[in-house]
Amino acid sequence: MSSTAVSTPSGLRVPGWLAPAGVAVLFAAAYLVFRGTGTLPHDSEAPQFAAVTELREWIDDHRNDNPVFLYFLNYVRLFVGGVYGLFHGALTALGWPGLIGVMGALAWLAGGWRIALPAVAGFCSFGVLGLWESSVETLALVAAAVLLSLAIGVPLGIWAGLSRRAHRAVTPVLDVMQIMPTFAYLAPLALFFHIGAPAGTIATMIYAIPPAIRITALAVQQVSPTAVEASASLGATRAQTLVKVHLPLARSTMALAVNQTIMMALSMVVIANLINAPGLGSDIILGLSRAQVGIMLPAGVAIVVMAMVLDRMTVSVARRGPHSRIGRAGLAGAGALAAAGVTLGLVLPHEWPEALTVDLVAEINDAVLWAETSWYGVTTFIKDTTSYLLLNPLESLFTTAPWWLVAAAVLLAAWRVSGVRPALTALGCLLAIALLGTWEHAMRTMTTVAVAVSVTLVIGLLLGVAAARSARWSAVQRPVLDAAQTMPAFVYLLPALALFGTTRFTAIFASIVYAVPPVVRLVEEGIRNVPGTVVEAAASAGSTPGQLLWKVQLPMARRAILLAANQGIVMTLAMVVVGGLVGAGALGYDVVLGFSQRTDFGMGFIAGVATVLLGVMLDRITQGADRRPSPHQRKVT
Provide the minimum distance between the beta carbon of 121 and other proteins in the complex, in angstroms, as a whole number.
Answer: 27
> Which of these segments, 17-25, 407-415, 502-510, 542-550, binds other proteins (CB under 8 A)?
502-510
Provide the minimum distance between the beta carbon of 139 and other proteins in the complex, in angstroms, as a whole number.
Answer: 16
Q: Which residues of 300-314 are buried (b: 16+ CB within 10 A; e: fewer)?
A: bbbbbbbbbbbbbbb
Burial class (CB in 10 A: 0-12, 13-18, 19+), 358: exposed
* Minimum CB distance to other proteins smaller for 156 or for 522: 156
Per-residue mark of binding to other proteins, 138-157 (x: CB under 8 A): -------------xx-xx--
* Minimum CB distance to other proteins smaller for 276 or for 547: 276
Query: How many Å apart are CA 83 and CA 77, to the nearest integer?
Result: 10
DSSP states along 556-575: HTHHHHHHHHHHHHHHHHHH
Provide the minimum distance between the beta carbon of 154 and other proteins in the complex, in angstroms, as a whole number.
Answer: 7
Per-residue mark of binding to other proteins, 344-363 (x: CB under 8 A): ------------------x-
DSSP states along 526-553: HHHTS-HHHHHHHHHTT--HHHIIIIII
502 binds other proteins (CB under 8 A): yes
* Minimum CB distance to other proteins smaller for 312 or for 504: 504
Residues 6+ apart with CB under 8 A from 205: 145, 148, 149, 152, 265
439 binds other proteins (CB under 8 A): no
* Minimum CB distance to other proteins smaller for 157 or for 422: 157
Planar angle of CA 186, 188, 193, nearest 5 degrees: 90
Query: How many Å apart are CA 220 and CA 249, to the nearest integer?
Result: 8
* Minimum CB distance to other proteins smaller for 215 or for 468: 215
DSSP 195: S
- Selected from 264, 582, 603, 618, the binder of other proteins by CB under 8 A is 582
Provide the minimum distance between the beta carbon of 497 and other proteins in the complex, in angstroms, as a whole number.
Answer: 9
Per-residue mark of binding to other proteins, 442-481 (x: CB under 8 A): ----------------------------------------
* Minimum CB distance to other proteins smaller for 383 or for 559: 383
Its sign, for the CA torsion 454, 456, 457, 463, is positive
606 binds other proteins (CB under 8 A): no
Residues 6+ apart with CB under 8 A from 242: 158, 162
- Selected from 8, 289, 470, 633, the binder of other proteins by CB under 8 A is 289
DSSP 392: H
- Asked if 115 and 316 touch (Cβ cutoff 8 Å), the reply is yes
Query: How many Å apart are CA 452 and CA 449, to the nearest integer?
Result: 5
- Asked if 288 and 279 touch (Cβ cutoff 8 Å), the reply is no
Provide the minimum distance between the beta carbon of 358 and other proteins in the complex, in angstroms, as a whole number.
Answer: 15
- Selected from 188, 419, 555, 583, the binder of other proteins by CB under 8 A is 583
- Selected from 168, 238, 290, 350, the binder of other proteins by CB under 8 A is 290
Q: Quick one: which of 526, 541, 547, 527 has its CA closest to 3?
A: 547
Which of the residues 43 through 102 are near other proteins (CB under 8 A)?
Answer: 44-45, 60-61, 63-64, 67, 70-71, 74-79, 81-85
- Say how many residues touch other proteins, by CB under 8 A: 62
- Asked if 492 and 297 touch (Cβ cutoff 8 Å), the reply is no
Which of the residues 167 through 226 are near other proteins (CB under 8 A)?
Answer: 194-198
Residue numbers at the binding site for other proteins (CB under 8 A): 44-45, 60-61, 63-64, 67, 70-71, 74-79, 81-85, 151-152, 154-155, 194-198, 276, 278, 282, 285-286, 288-292, 362, 383-384, 387-388, 392, 395, 501-504, 581-583, 585, 589, 592-593, 595-599
